Amino acid sequence: MNLVLFGPPGAGKGTQAKVLTQRRGWPQLSTGDMLRAAIAAGTDLGKRCKAIMDAGDLVPDEVVIAIIAERYDQKDCRGGAVFDGFPRTTPQAVALDEMLSHRGRKIDLVIELKVDDAILLGRVGQRIKDAGGAARADDTPETLKNRLEVYYKNTAPLLKFYSDQGKLVQVDGMASIEMVTAAIAALIDRSGGNA
């Protein structure tokens, strides 16, 4: 099954993607993690993307489309994957549909984690307090504000794209991690599990 976890930054997509990988075996395809790995490795790609990411802006579509296509062609994605933080723009969503259809695949389900902005800002403040500083360069209240603006401007329009395709379902992302996990599991099972 190919699944998109959808929602603003800090909604818990990464946490839930990891649970799905553990329980269902579908790898987590996080473009944010891939880009951070490129920065850590000091690659040209990483150097090009660092300032953009630190500011909370989006890296160019062609960059993330290329890294997702390369990653999806690895063996462990044969049974499907969980897309986490991708797609984030309409061109990315169109490219993802095309890439999958060339491989005889499709997105089966798009799960939106619905959360409140004020709560996201509160969570980032708490994380910084707990850790004694931001663990990620883009995990500050100022950058999160920009990331949320970018989300509403560029990414939220995809909700219509996927609801028009009849693939969008929603869960309350403000419930406990366990409750969100259970709600996601129920939606996947209802949609056919390993479709």
Q: Which is nearer to ligand AMP, 92 or 181 (CB)?
A: 92
- The yes or no reply on residue 58 touching ligand AMP (CB under 6 A) is yes
Q: Which residues pair with 115 in a beta bridge?
A: none
User: Tokens 């509403």 — which residue?
Assistant: 152
Residue from 11, 64, 115, 144 in contact with ligand AMP (CB under 6 A): 64
Q: Which is nearer to ligand AMP, 57 or 117 (CB)?
A: 57
Least CB distance to ligand AMP at residue 49 (A)? 7
The C-alpha torsion from 154 through 3 and 183 to 85, rounded to 10°, is -40
Q: Which residues pair with 172 in a beta bridge?
A: 114
Q: Does the CA dihedral 132-137-142-144 come out positive or negative?
A: negative
Q: Residue 6 corresponds to which tokens in the numbers above?
A: 């959808």
C-alpha span between 106 and 28 (Å, rounded): 16
For ligand AMP, the binding residues in 65-104 under the rule CB under 6 A are 85-88, 92
What count of other Cβ atoms lies within 10 Å of the Cβ of residue 188?
22
For ligand AMP, the binding residues in 133-152 under the rule CB under 6 A are 138, 147
Question: In what side-by-side order are the strands of the sheet with 28-30?
Answer: 28-30, 81-84, 2-6, 109-114, 168-172
The interface mask with ligand AMP, positions 113-132, x = CB under 6 A, is: --------------------
The interface mask with ligand AMP, positions 6-35, x = CB under 6 A, is: ---x---------------------xx--x
Which residue in the shown chain puts its C-beta closest to ligand AMP? 32
Least CB distance to ligand AMP at residue 153 (A)? 13
Q: Which is nearer to ligand AMP, 85 or 173 (CB)?
A: 85
What count of other Cβ atoms lies within 10 Å of the Cβ of residue 62?
11
**Where along the sequence are the contacts to ligand AMP (CB under 6 A)?**
9, 31-32, 35, 52-53, 56-59, 64, 85-88, 92, 138, 147
